[in-house]
Structure 1
Amino acid sequence: MDVDRDARSATVWWARPVPPADGGRLVDLLDARERARLDRFRRDADRAAYLAAHALTRLVLAAAVGHPAAELEFDRTCRCGEQHGKPVLLGGPGFSLTHAGGLVGVAVHTGPVGLDVEEERELTDLPALAAHACSPAEAAPDPGSFFVLWTRKEALLKATGAGLSSPMAAITLGPAGVTEWTGDGAPTGPVWLRDLHPGPGYRAAIAGLGTEPGDVRTEDGDALLAQAR
């Protein structure tokens, strides 16, 4: 294995949702907080996506740090001080998880990273969504480009740890990436951004703070989940 190449790389695992009834030992990988959250979902689709995303996160991070997946402990301290913020694995790499439709994804990188995927679909409220997502300097996107814009900006916001609690309209995108980012929480250093292609009918993007990785690799998350069941 080329260790130096791996150190510069970001890796993304894509997988399908897994219903808890079919998950075998995957539920056992979750901690008490995660299992309680899993049980609170009313829709089967939400439970399946949550289980796959969080079990996959534990499996890929366990391989990265050399500890059993079920024993990983996350700090979820929010800016308000409560334990409902973006999870951080102390001493581990940066990571981000996402899901939409029939797809879940996990990204891992040495630095802060954000991953977003959206399922392309008809939008009946495109003008309102565009007003929310576009900066004053950006033209309103057409239906075909809206999900590209959205995934790019959500990935950037996830990389900062703010997520959609910060306004997308504070970010202006150009052909080469971010051209302007204003307001509280805007990064003071460089950011990087790349589009991903997880499959037909989906748009995705990965972003991070700091130096751009030399490579963004894609791995089979379904195989990893199957091995752990």
Structure 2
Amino acid sequence: MTVVWWAAPVAPADAPGLVALLDGHERDRLDRFRRPADRARYLAAHALVRLVLAATVGTPAAALPFDRTCRCGAQHGKPVLPGGPGFSLTHAGDLVGVAVHPDGAVGLDVEQARELGDLPAMVAHVCSPQESAADADAFFTLWTRKEALLKAVGTGLATPMSAITLGPAGVIAWTGDDAPRDPLWLADLHPAAGYHAAVAGTGPRPEITEERGDGLLAAQAR
């Protein structure tokens, strides 16, 4: 089963107990954010993933040993938990999200619906030649689906979204040298009104549930 947890951002000043869960790398990142909203989203997402994973693997949240080895060898890549389940983090507006998938890599994305200043240009960036998006809602649906897929396969936005063609059942085609060969699953999510979200991974599609994680954060905040 893949579980997706949603929560509201939490200001560090209001949650010293959550800050205490973070390791040195995470605290350095937290301190670099200048905007309070960015700090609150970062803290909530990274504390929540620690709390959820701790319950899954039976290790205290503050002791989880994340590996952030990038392709270049430095410790600034996507975090993984050695020997643990796959997970993915995302945030937008007043939401943070964490997806945990026990059977491999997973990708999660959320976007807040909003007006786009140059919709045709954005659509051209996201859509393959076989796709179209008539309005902002259709655009954000495509964006979150493709961003989730790219996170799941590990390439991120280094792969153009236009290389992926989606249909009602998922991925129809994926072009390029880095196109995955494994089967892919994809699902839309419904975190809150005014938001689009999707989760994706490799292999057979699992059962997917959505939960609120605000209570977990509140219990550890002080």
Does the pair score TM above 0.5? Answer: yes
TM-score (norm 2): 0.97
- Tell me how many residue pairs correspond in the alignment: 220
Unmatched runs of 5 consecutive residues or more in structure 2: none
Separation (CA, whole Å) in 1 of partners of 2:218 and 2:60: 17
Larger displacement relative to structure 2 (14-23 or 182-191) = 182-191
Pick the aligned partner of 2:172 from 169, 179, 198: 179
Separation (CA, whole Å) in 1 of partners of 2:170 and 2:59: 36
How far residue 47 of structure 1 moved from its aligned partner, in angstroms, is 0.2
Pick the aligned partner of 1:89 from 67, 81, 106: 81
- Equivalent position of 1:21 in the other structure: 13
- Equivalent position of 1:119 in the other structure: 112
Larger displacement relative to structure 2 (75-84 or 57-66) = 75-84
User: Per-residue displacement from partner, 1:138-193 (whole Å, max 9, x unpaired)?
Assistant: 12442221110000000000001111121111100011110001113211010000
- Equivalent position of 2:22 in the other structure: 30
Contact 2:113 2:136 in 1 (8 A): no
Letter in 2 for 1:147: F
- Equivalent position of 2:195 in the other structure: 202
Q: How does 1:71-150 map to 2 (within 5 A)?
A: 71-110=63-102, 111-150=104-143
Pick the aligned partner of 1:157 from 144, 150, 153: 150
- Equivalent position of 2:215 in the other structure: 223
TM-score (norm 1): 0.94
Separation (CA, whole Å) in 1 of partners of 2:42 and 2:155: 20
Separation (CA, whole Å) in 2 of partners of 1:92 and 1:84: 19
Separation (CA, whole Å) in 2 of partners of 1:154 and 1:142: 18
Separation (CA, whole Å) in 1 of partners of 2:192 and 2:53: 24
Q: Identity of counterpart residues, as a percentage?
A: 70
How far residue 126 of structure 1 moved from its aligned partner, in angstroms, is 1.2
Letter in 1 for 2:167: G
4+ residue runs over 3 A deviation: none
Q: How does 1:35-46 map to 2 (within 5 A)?
A: 35-46=27-38
How far residue 219 of structure 1 moved from its aligned partner, in angstroms, is 1.4
Unmatched runs of 5 consecutive residues or more in structure 1: 1-8
Separation (CA, whole Å) in 2 of partners of 1:95 and 1:141: 32
- Equivalent position of 1:167 in the other structure: 160
